[in-house]
């Protein structure tokens, strides 16, 4: 699976890690729905870190279609209300 982190590039991850990312995504949705800015920021950083820690960065010259796009860590909770609603970024 190819995951893009906005402003940071693309990463190749094994599909088996999707469940872990989905758990973090669900926590972010809960924080956003409660208006918990600190929890949102912490878990968004955790989601980005998980992709970087477990993924292999793709060469910047190699652009491939992304299966998932994660916003950058500078996203505000107000912006997140649009992205992290319902099932969040990761469906399922």
| Interatomic CA distance for residues 41 and 57, integer angstroms | 23
Structure tokens at 84: 């992290």
Residue 85's SS3 state is: coil
Tell me the CA distances in angstroms from 41 to 30, 35, 46, 72, one per residue in order. 12, 11, 9, 11
Q: What is the pLDDT of residues 17-56, one digit of tens each?
A: 999 999 999 999 999 999 999 999 999 999 999 999 999 9
pTM for the full model?
0.91
pLDDT over 70 at 81, yes or no = yes
| Interatomic CA distance for residues 21 and 50, integer angstroms | 7
């Amino acid at each position: 699976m190819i995951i893009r982190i906005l402003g940071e590039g693309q990463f190749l991850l094994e599909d088996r890690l999707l469940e872990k990312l989905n758990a973090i995504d669900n926590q972010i949705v809960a924080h956003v729905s409660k208006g918990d800015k600190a929890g949102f920021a912490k878990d968004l950083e955790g989601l980005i870190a998980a992709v970087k820690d477990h993924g292999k960065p793709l060469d910047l010259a190699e652009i491939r279609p992304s299966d998932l796009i994660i916003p950058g860590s500078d996203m505000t909770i107000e912006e997140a209300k649009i992205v992290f609603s319902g099932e969040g970024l990761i469906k399922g």
